[in-house]
Structure 1
């Protein structure tokens, strides 16, 4: 648990009154744009930086004044920080050896190599491994001292998308099997949604929202969260579309998710929708993206899978359609509410 953490860097407030609680054995993702304070919070928890105020608790133990080596945690750095001149086995046992822990080192290496799907690779050196294998060695090393808490800072950032997805699932399984409480820092929403039990959204050193991925995705607490999490369209609050669907706000703009649109290719019996023309259509990988223009010149876009397009849309450029949405799925905003710049003290 982190209670009311604050820290400053020069004239900027990096973390401002943050409180985070993590249930044992769960994965918490700290998600936000660059400079939002998530990595700073991780370093504060690890003891790599000192807070101006606030406390850190492991269960009921106040560890705020503990040195890094006394905090009983494992750390996976963004670049993995493996020792190139050491074998995989020696990298894994580096922590226990430095702490002079009494354990069967070879048995521990074998256990962790099996756990991380690296059997038989203990004698290799890091340069002989793939990026994904090095990442798993870093996780094994972090677990070697049996930590109460594991911290991961952008652990998948240097890997290609296919490898990243596979390793995310592998890491989630490892955490479940070992039962270690884990905090992962990421700016990748898909990564957070794929792996975490709890998501904490950061902006300008403050927490905008926390909850399960489903809670944050379905009920964003602020315009910043809705804009940051998932695709959105921005339209003027005075436009024809907003008026037709019956949404009211005193803000100058409205955002909504394309996935919430109701697009009708027939006009009969449809109410609470605005007329639009299919302005353009593009094939984007596995998706089909439609660009729709309302009669007042306001544009929106919607992307659907090829299968959904074939079954439900299959629209042509120039085709007339009706677009509706539930007003509860819209949010009024001002662009100042989307500001992600550092908070000045």
Structure 2
């Protein structure tokens, strides 16, 4: 009895093995280099966007405050998985301890949940700006922006605290090999030797709720925005409103589409290869695309960037 208990505990706390992205690649070194460059692009693009918003007073508005929060989340999001993937490839290691796996799971659930709610807050901000322009500065004051951002982080952490402990307390007596490049909940759950059907149902309901609230806010906000735009007689008003909202809708489509596939589609739709491709898209590529979407399509951000670049030589001359 004692031996059986010891073996159960030993199995539970044995390291996991991450299959990773490079095992089936014909050119792992090239793929590793590409992912490293993408990682650098994500960090530099989001860092630059945050720097521009912080340094330019014209960008000190609620919309850009939320964009800076999104960039911060994206930087943290990609940093949870990619450094581990690259380091394992360089060192030839593919294991991850149970505590490290749990921490990684908690962080990506927290950041993913927070980003879902942040996108809803950004949609609400655009709704107030377009539908109530005269009251915008009052309704979306600095205190309200901080409250909304804090609420997004809090609700994201609730998601992490709910799912991570339950997932990691299941007994894992099957293969320790996770068919993924990081500890994502569905991939880890496949290793459990106990009946997880009830938990999977609860997780599904939790994810539905976590997606339903933001989607309802986003849908309601953009429905009101479209009605307001329809009533506009000014072609310039149409153009500005659509330009403001189109960037946000692109990000919403990218992020929510991947989340719906991962957590809401039945297991019959999933294969390890498909799951890994979708995860690469929303954990690695989306953090790179977000700053490009919000900068290249935004005249204010591009103007702030040109102003910063033009100020560089002047600053150097003044200091010499």
Band of TM-score, shorter chain: under 0.3
Structure with the largest fraction of helix: 2
Structure ranking higher on relative contact order (CA contacts 8 Å, 6+ apart)? 2
Structure with the largest fraction of strand: 1
Max radius of gyration: which structure? Answer: 1
